[in-house]
Structure 1
Amino acid sequence: MHSNSARRRLLKAGAALAASAMLAGCGFHLRGPQPLAFSTLHVSASQFSDLGSAIRRKVELSGTTTITEDASKAEARLQILANERGREILSLTSSGTVREYQLTQRIRFRLIDSKNTELIPPTNISGQREYTFDDEEVLGKEQEETLLYRDMQADLVQQIMRRLAAYRRPQ
């Protein structure tokens, strides 16, 4: 009986070792900042807006590109053409009060170089989140809505950064 439990422990340890070796060998690594193909970037969104400051932070974290507030000195310019938020009713209770909302955010942007040549044509990205609403918890639901918008915007900024990182200069 004692040898069976020792054998089981040995098999479990061997399986754990094999699984960790396979995971290490597959090339898995966490996604970090991705280098951008230009050394300076101008962002048309205000540095004081949530979207503008989030994009600036992500670009600075890339380690290869610096933000310039002077568009004429930028190697590339990220133009935010639209940033729209919306809220729609998804469902109502039997008494006619709102049960669920759907939040949406749509960003339209393009990337141009210093000669106004389009590097990335106008592109739409959007996100949506849904949440249940309760009239008795209005303050808490307003905070939840704010957090959902913030989370959605973070996702959209990540999408913009992936598109910027995917751009490569023609050879």
Structure 2
Amino acid sequence: MQLLRNTILIIATCLTVAGCGFHLRGSQTLPPDINAVTSTSVVAHSLLKRELDERLNVYEIPRKPFDTVTRSDMSDTVIIRLLPETIERRLLSVFSTGQVAEYELIYGVNYTVTFPGHDPINAYFEIMRDYQDDPDKVLAKSRELDLVVSEMRKEAADRIIRRLALQASEL
């Protein structure tokens, strides 16, 4: 009896999740008429571009290097153009001595997506993180800041890919 109830519960849960349109986060797909994605950046050696290319490979989305895209490839290739990213720090709190205790890091990403046969779509988003500063541990906090910014960059690349899949499905 217990086994039957658990089986029915599992089947009902699966049907509910499948029926509501839920997709696993790692399952980004593009329409069949899109052969590849290419990315370029106005900033030479952009770390965000490198991260985006890496994430495209993780999601197994076919990509082409921008310098190899020919005019005939434009009919089935999506172009992502990354504009300069911004990192701002906003003061959140201070110690009683007046030294900064906590910042809010704001990572801004500005990019343009061009689908074949459509006008470019401009997009901007921000990712925010709190960062605690300790003036007594400057080297450790510097490395921690680099790690936080790197994680924000990875999240930005994932968000660009999710938005790309969403925009492609709406065309």
Q: Which bracket does the TM-score occupy, shorter chain normalised?
A: 0.7 to 0.9
- Residue among 40, 43, 49 paired with 1:44: 40
* Alpha-carbon distance in structure 2 between the residues aligned to 1:57 and 1:141: 27
Q: 1:167 to 1:135 in 2, by over 3 A?
A: same
Query: Conserved in 1, the CA contact under 8 Å of 2:30 and 2:165?
Result: yes
1:14/1:151 Cα in 2 relative to 1: closer, same or farther (>3 Å)? Answer: farther
C-alpha displacement of 1:136:
1.6
Q: Does 1:132 align with 2:129?
A: no
Residue 37 of structure 2 contacts residue 61 of structure 2 at CA under 8 Å; is this kept in 1?
A: no
- TM-score normalised to structure 2 length: 0.75
Report which stretch shifted further, 88-97 or 64-73.
64-73
In structure 2, C-alpha distance between the alignment counterparts of 1:122 and 1:33, rounded to whole Å: 24
Letter in 2 for 1:80: L
Partner Cα separation in structure 2 for residue 96 and residue 146 of structure 1: 24
After superposition, what is the alpha-carbon deviation per residue over 1:106-141, rounded to whole angstroms, capped at 9, x for unaligned?
Answer: 0111112467x424x211111111122111222221
The DSSP-based 3-state class of the residue aligned with 1:164 is helix
Alpha-carbon distance in 2 for matches of 1:29, 1:169 = 14
Question: What letter matches 1:32 in structure 2?
Answer: G
Instruction: List runs of 5+ in structure 2 lacking aligned partners.
Output: none
Shift of 1:80: 0.9
Alignment match, 2:119: 118
Q: Which has the higher contact order (CA 8 A, sep 6+)?
A: 2
* 8 A contact 1:33–1:63 mirrored in 2: no
Distance 1:19 1:154, change over 3 A: farther
Alignment of 1:57-72 (within 5 A): 57-70=54-67, 71-72=69-70
Aligned identity (percent) is: 21
Distance 2:84 2:157 in 1: 13
Aligned residue for 1:135, secondary structure, equals: coil
Contact (CA 8 Å) 1:33, 1:61: kept in 2 or not?
no
Alignment gaps of 5+ in structure 1 = 1-9
CA distance in 2, matches of 1:15, 1:134: 55
Question: How many residue pairs are counted as aligned between the two chains?
Answer: 159
Note if contact 2:56-2:161 (Cα within 8 Å) is conserved in structure 1: yes
Paired residues of 1:85 and 1:106 also in contact (CA < 8 A): yes
Report the Cα offset of residue 42 of structure 1.
Answer: 2.2
Alignment partner, residue 106 of structure 1: 108
